[in-house]
């Protein structure tokens, strides 16, 4: 649904006030989707893993310990880069603290679906329900 003219003017005023108040934050917000940067870092991590693996194998073929160590370090760095950016790149939701079941907004994910509790918490809850009955 499009914004009315009044709402558009209010939004423009808010944007101008934000730029005037904190231009650095405004430019970082304006740059676009954060997932795009995280996806690029994830792809770079995968590329580094492949390059590191090739260097590691090259160090094994040509008996060179420093080359093998370098390959391992490049591979490890690429894997770390990928792991650190996976959640931001894919939009995966990390399960939060387990609370009571029901319509709690804290227990819901982005799509409004309830997040699944860990197995331990679900088993404890089932035990409590059986014990209470």
Total domains present in the chain: 1
Tell me which residue range forms the domain holding 128.
Answer: 100-133
Residue 36 is predicted with a pLDDT of: 78
Q: Does some domain include residue 128? A: yes
3-state SS track over the chain: CCCCHHHHHHHHHHHHHHHHHCHHHHHHHHCCCHHHHHHHHHHHHHHHHHHHHHHHHHHHHCCCHHHHHHHHHHHHHHHHHHHHHHHHHHCCCCCCCCCCCCCCHHHECCCCCECCCCHHHHHHHHHHHHHHC
Residue 110 is predicted with a pLDDT of: 56
Q: Does some domain include residue 114? A: yes
Q: Does some domain include residue 33? A: no
Q: Does some domain include residue 64? A: no
Residue 100 is predicted with a pLDDT of: 45
Residue 73 is predicted with a pLDDT of: 95
Q: What is the pLDDT along the chain (133 residues), one digit of tens a residue?
A: 677 888 888 888 888 887 788 877 777 666 666 677 888 888 899 999 999 999 999 999 998 899 999 999 999 999 998 888 887 777 665 555 554 444 444 445 555 566 677 888 888 888 888 878 7
Residue 102 is predicted with a pLDDT of: 47
Q: Does some domain include residue 13? A: no
């Amino acid at each position: 649904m499009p914004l009315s003219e009044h709402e558009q003017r209010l939004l423009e005023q808010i944007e101008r006030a934000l730029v005037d108040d904190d231009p650095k934050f405004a430019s970082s917000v304006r740059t676009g989707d954060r997932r795009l940067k995280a996806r690029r870092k994830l792809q770079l991590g995968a590329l580094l893993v492949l390059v590191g693996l090739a260097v590691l194998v090259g160090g094994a073929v040509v008996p060179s310990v420093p080359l093998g160590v370098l390959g391992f370090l490049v591979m490890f760095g690429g894997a770390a880069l990928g792991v650190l950016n996976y959640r931001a790149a894919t939009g995966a939701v990390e399960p939060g603290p387990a609370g009571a079941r029901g319509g709690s907004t804290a227990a819901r994910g982005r799509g409004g679906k309830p997040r699944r509790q860990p197995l331990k918490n679900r088993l404890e809850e089932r035990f409590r329900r059986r014990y209470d009955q």
